[in-house]
Structure 1
Amino acid sequence: MAVQHTLLLQRKYGAQGTNGTVSYQGEHICHTIELPDLNNLPRISCIPVGRYRLEKRRYPKHGEQIGIPNVLGREAILIHAANNAMKELHGCIAPVTTLTGEGTGDYSGKALAKLKALVYSLWDMGDEVYLNIR
């Protein structure tokens, strides 16, 4: 039976964007940036709090990424690199190394690589990975 692993995303909401921190088993992995919370409106809001099972997905624009399926009323939500939520995100989550403001951060590619290394290593063991957003 597959073991379930849960990444915790703790958020702070702002008018210009939503910032967060991802941890796994109490260890800091990266920060995150998202769009502001606008009641889950497609393409302009962050996704609602909840627990989501992560899946490997292929996207024409971003290649193979960590997908977040089963978000109510939304589709094609994924975790990909971006340093400015308002300019680069349409509801997805972007990992960043450092937060520089509401919805902005630095070194997203580096943070994404770290997050993917963790998630993929768990998937490679045949386990399930969940993202708990609160």
Structure 2
Amino acid sequence: MVLVLNRTYFPEGTQGVLEWNGTIVCYTIELPWLQNQRRISCIPEGEYVLVKRFSPKFQWHLHLRSVPGRDLILIHPANDAKKELLGCIAPVSQHSGIGKGCFSRKAFEKLKALVYPVLERNEEVKISIHSNSSTSLPLTFLLKEKD
């Protein structure tokens, strides 16, 4: 299974659309691209293996393996990239601003329901991250952000 994350970059944050087999699973938020600097930048584009991971803070979540120059890059719930992420990816049900979204836990549950059964069959799950330069936010959304 390969999930595809198409990103759009902004100075304040990174917006994404996560798809599987051409169908949108959820949207994503991340920190802005700042040359892969630890804790303040989103990670580089590329393909990464996903595994299940447990922590007391996030409970069961997803871990991206072998991210160059980074460790413990996770997929976990968050609604504000700058306040809640340190380089990780947060699924959201919809974008509410640059680097912001809403109903993250709901989106994360949907993602887990898709991915966990595949992982439990010991099948590989990857995420392929790309720039989506052909897609831009609607003008009304961009104008609202500047207010």
TM-score, length of structure 1 as denominator length: 0.94
Structure 1 letter corresponding to 2:118: L
Paired letter, 1:119: V
Which structure 2 residue ranges, 5 or more long, are not aligned?
131-147
2:16 to 12, 20, 24: 20
Structure 1 residue runs of 4 or more that deviate by more than 6 Å after TM superposition: none
Other structure's SS at 1:54 match: strand
Q: Give deviations 1:97-124, integer Å, cap 9, x for gaps.
A: 0001110001000000000110102112
State the alpha-carbon separation in 2 of the partners of residues 29 and 59 from structure 1: 24
Q: Name the SS for the 1:33 alignment partner.
A: strand
SS in 1 for 2:101: strand
1:8 — aligned with what?
4
Structure 1 gap ranges (5+):
none
Q: Does 1:29 align with 2:25?
A: yes
* TM-score normalised by structure 2 residue count: 0.86
1:131 aligns with 2:136: no
- The share of aligned pairs that are identical, in percent, is 49
Q: 2:71 aligns with which of 50, 63, 75?
A: 75
Which protein shows a greater Rg? 2
Superposed CA RMSD in Å reads 0.8
Structure richer in helix, relative to its length? 2
Task: Give 1:7's aligned amino acid.
Answer: L
Output one character per residue of 1:35-71: Cα deviation in whole Å (capped at 9) or x when no partner. Answer: 0000000000000000000011122321221101211
